[in-house]
Amino acid sequence: MDLDEVIEGLELLKPWIPEKARKAIIASQILSGNDAYERVRPLADVVRAIIIASGKGIASLPESEELEGEIYLGDVMLGELKLGEFRLKRDDLIKGVTIFAPSGHGKTNLIMQFLLELSRLNIPFTVFDFKQDYRHLIRKIPNLVVLKVEWLRCNLLDPPPNVNRFEWLMEVANLLPYSWGFFHWGTGSYLTDMLMEAFNQKEDLTLFDIYELVKQDDITSRRKADWHDVLESRLSSTLRTLGKVIATKKGYPIYKLLKLPLVIELYNLREADAKLIVSWFLAYELHYRRANRHRGKLYHVNVIDEYHRVVSRQHEWSEMTKEMGDSIIERQAREFRDFGEAGIYAFQEISRIHHSVIENSELKICGNLSSWEDIEVAANSMNLKEEEVRTLDHLQVGEWLVKRRGGSAFILRTPLIELRKDLGDEELQELMKDWIAEISSYDRERIILSEEEVAALQVLSRYPFASKSTLYELLNGLGRLERRVKALRLLIKKGLVREEKVFVYSTRPTEFLIPTEKGLSFMKASGIEIKVWEKVLKSTKQGHGFKHACIIYHAWRELNKLGRAWMEHRVGEKQLDVFAVINGIKLGVEVYVNPKVDWKKLSTALRALDLLVIVSYDAKVHERVKNEVMQVGSLLEKIIFYTSPPPFFKDLKRGLPFLYQIRWKMPEIR
Ligand SMILES: Nc1ncnc2c1ncn2[C@@H]1O[C@H](COP(=O)(O)OP(=O)(O)OP(=O)(O)O)[C@@H](O)[C@H]1O
Ligand SMILES: [Mg+2]
């Protein structure tokens, strides 16, 4: 008997004949020529015939002990023949599971099978659900808790129990840049500075405090200004969508959630915000387990379907990664198992996932991959033989090629979970109402507004550049003046609105009201439209704050009464604050709150204009602006300077008297 044939035949009988016995057969074959194989050969022939008949090729068959464990996942198949059941050991689960297959192959269904088993075994889990798939499992797991992310009231800056506050803030300083995708070390370290400053100033911090600090920070250099702008805009947009969720003082403690069978719905979140939530939970778990010496057994399972949404391969090679070290996502793949935190991750394209995540997973479950690139990466990372790779192509929906590290690859068929997918938002809210109430009871600073205050916010939401006195007029539907004054005063006191004084029409400053981040996040949550403000605040970030935007808005309004005017209009290479055409005269207006002038660009605009009005915010700014502007040379004669806004607005009201005088004048100061 040919020895190769014996080895090949015994390989087919792995599920039935233990390894020791197979070795004994081979040994006796070699040593004594005793044909022990003959006795099992008919069985091997049957198995081979089944494989050929199935036309699917063959994965190597698993040893019987590889199939033993607590977590039932489905049946091991040989063609249409069921060889046995596959149960995963808890310990293997701790070491990580990755599932990769194209859309519609059954990843979500397989994860549900996992969850049914975890729930049967009372193992807590957290599913991060981007597609509202898992809420329906409540029909099969009655104690399942399903929370929309917006129902959470937690505090990102609260450390887990027994974790040092400083250490935790450093972790936050590390995870925020990853979630937000700062591709610059400078912004990251600027954030760290801000967190440290806040740490020294007060306890009970929230991200709202950090945002206020950043806003008030003096910008000393150009470089710092860039970091500042990036950080400020990230903080503000995140706080606007997730304000209460991540920045509730003394919020709901996350470790309580880790004891539940839990689904957190991240439906409709922007990628950066979803990443923030996921990395926050993961970092929290790591610090929590470590500080509380949780080790040596399985405590909790993280489940991330659509994993590519939180970790992508681009990260791996980015400058940021080189400069800042590993993200929590990578550390998770390596460190979590030590602390009894398991992970099940599913995604479509293996070639786009950070390789350490795949390398570090103990069990890999692979579906019918479509691209060559994916097949190659999968084959490498699973260490597949050629004939095993060929089986990939034959896998049907719900069938998988499964391999443990160092184990054999076999084919698994998972059961289809019959589930009605009809759980709507209202029913969910009703089912979860106790949880929602419990969590929001932690939000001690619940903002409750009177009818007048809400009305005031509604008016403010529509008229960003209306002065305080104009707002009082707009609110006259509310009755007596005292009531209107009181409503606005209370909004300021509650921190939803702040005042800013701007010199516009008169030598006494005009008062304006601006919603704070807290205010915007509240307005958004209560259905008040904030688009107008988002636009204003976005443009003020690029420019020079609210003052600048406010002055150019009013200049635009007044100029429109005299002719036609446009805000932020490009002339030559210059984006002019206001451009107007009045009686055929082309007029530009530039407002300087900071003395930052690009005179070269300005001169390209000057060539196309008849007249440029430069309005500085005060005499000091004017001196510096003028020095810069001098460099435009002979074009200077087209410029009229104002040392502050009030005289300019006075002239505007009078119809810009200089327009009616001679067109070309010597530069003059008014
Ligand atoms: N084990 C199975 N047996 C039979 N049919 C299945 C099985 N698993 C899934 N299916 C079928 O395939 C469909 C898609 O499954 P599922 O939603 O789990 O795929 P998916 O891989 O998560 O897809 P996507 O990447 O688009 O989320 C299911 O609606 C179901 O009809
Ligand atoms: Mg899915």
What are the pLDDT digits (tens) for 149-179? 999 999 999 999 999 999 999 999 988 988 8
**Residue 60 contacts residue 385 (beta carbons within 8 Å):** yes
Taking the centre of ligand 1 as the mean of its atom positions, its distance from the CA of residue 378, in whole angstroms, is: 20
Both tokens assigned to 32 = 């004594």
300 pLDDT more than 80: yes
Taking the centre of ligand 1 as the mean of its atom positions, its distance from the CA of residue 384, in whole angstroms, is: 25
Single-letter code of the amino acid located at 505: Y
**Residue 194 neighbours by CB under 8 Å, 6+ apart:** 210, 213, 214, 217, 231
CATH classification of 451-541 is 1.10.1740.10, yes or no?
no
Residues in the chain: 670
Which atom of ligand 1 lies closest to the CA of 112? 18
Say yes or no: CB of residue 417 within 6 Å of ligand 1. no
Please name the residue whose Cα sits nearest to atom 25 of ligand 1. 103
The stretch 59-77 carries a mean pLDDT of 83
Taking the centre of ligand 1 as the mean of its atom positions, its distance from the CA of residue 81, in whole angstroms, is: 22
Q: Report which DSSP code applies to 503.
A: -
Ligand sitting nearest the alpha carbon of 413: 1
Alpha helices in 266-417 (DSSP H): 271-291, 314-317, 319-324, 328-335, 355-359, 372-382, 386-392
Torsion angle, alpha carbons of 57, 59, 63, 67, to 10: -110
Condensed to tens digits (0 to 9), the pLDDT of residues 597-647 reads 888 888 999 999 989 999 999 999 999 999 988 888 888 888 999 999 999
Taking the centre of ligand 1 as the mean of its atom positions, its distance from the CA of residue 651, in whole angstroms, is: 71
13 pLDDT more than 90: no
**Residue 401 contacts residue 369 (beta carbons within 8 Å):** no
547 pLDDT more than 80: yes
Please name the residue whose Cα sits nearest to atom 15 of ligand 1. 106
In the chain, CATH 3.40.1350 covers 545-669
Alpha helices in 475-544 (DSSP H): 481-493, 517-525, 531-542
| C-alpha–C-alpha distance, residues 275 and 179, integer Å | 5
668 pLDDT more than 50: no
Share of the chain above pLDDT 70, in %: 92
From the number of C-beta atoms within 10 Å of its C-beta (0-12, 13-18, 19+), residue 238 rates as buried
User: What radius of gyration, in Å, describes the C-alpha atoms of the chain?
Assistant: 34
Ligand sitting nearest the alpha carbon of 99: 1
Lowest mean pLDDT among 19-23, 308-312, 567-571: 308-312
Say yes or no: CB of residue 109 within 6 Å of ligand 1. yes
Mean pLDDT is highest, among 5-9, 431-435, 583-587, for 431-435
Q: What is the pLDDT of residue 542?
A: 56
Please name the residue whose Cα sits nearest to atom 8 of ligand 1. 106
Ligand sitting nearest the alpha carbon of 112: 1
Torsion angle, alpha carbons of 524, 526, 531, 537, to 10: -50
| C-alpha–C-alpha distance, residues 405 and 222, integer Å | 52
In the chain, CATH 1.10.10.10 covers 451-541
**Residue 312 contacts residue 354 (beta carbons within 8 Å):** yes
Condensed to tens digits (0 to 9), the pLDDT of residues 175-193 reads 898 888 765 677 788 888 8
From the number of C-beta atoms within 10 Å of its C-beta (0-12, 13-18, 19+), residue 137 rates as buried
The half-sphere exposure of 71 on its side-chain side, counting CA atoms within 13 A, is 23
The stretch 115-141 carries a mean pLDDT of 97
Condensed to tens digits (0 to 9), the pLDDT of residues 431-478 reads 999 999 999 888 866 677 888 888 899 999 999 899 999 999 998 888
**The CATH number of 545-669 is which of 3.40.50, 3.40.1350, 3.90.1690, 2.40.128?**
3.40.1350
| C-alpha–C-alpha distance, residues 196 and 170, integer Å | 9
Is 489 or 656 the better-scoring residue by pLDDT?
A: 489
**Pocket perturbation via mutation, ligand 1, pick of 369, 397, 399 by most ligand atoms within 8 A of CB:** 397
**Residue 514 neighbours by CB under 8 Å, 6+ apart:** 464, 497, 498, 499, 500, 546
For 271-297, letters b (16+ CB in 10 Å) and e give: ebbbbbbbbbbbbbbbbbbbbeebeee
| C-alpha–C-alpha distance, residues 642 and 649, integer Å | 10
Both tokens assigned to 113 = 């099978």
DSSP notation for 548-617: HHHHHHHHHHHHHHHSEEEEEEEETTEEEEEEEEETTEEEEEEEESS----HHHHHHHHHH-SEEEEEES
Torsion angle, alpha carbons of 154, 157, 161, 162, to 10: 180
Taking the centre of ligand 1 as the mean of its atom positions, its distance from the CA of residue 389, in whole angstroms, is: 22
| C-alpha–C-alpha distance, residues 417 and 376, integer Å | 31
389 pLDDT more than 60: yes
**Pocket perturbation via mutation, ligand 1, pick of 86, 105, 413 by most ligand atoms within 8 A of CB:** 105
Taking the centre of ligand 2 as the mean of its atom positions, its distance from the CA of residue 625, in whole angstroms, is: 59
Q: What is the pLDDT of residue 366?
A: 95
Say yes or no: CB of residue 414 within 6 Å of ligand 1. yes
Ligand sitting nearest the alpha carbon of 412: 1
Query: Tokens 């300019």, residue?
Result: 648
The stretch 515-527 carries a mean pLDDT of 85
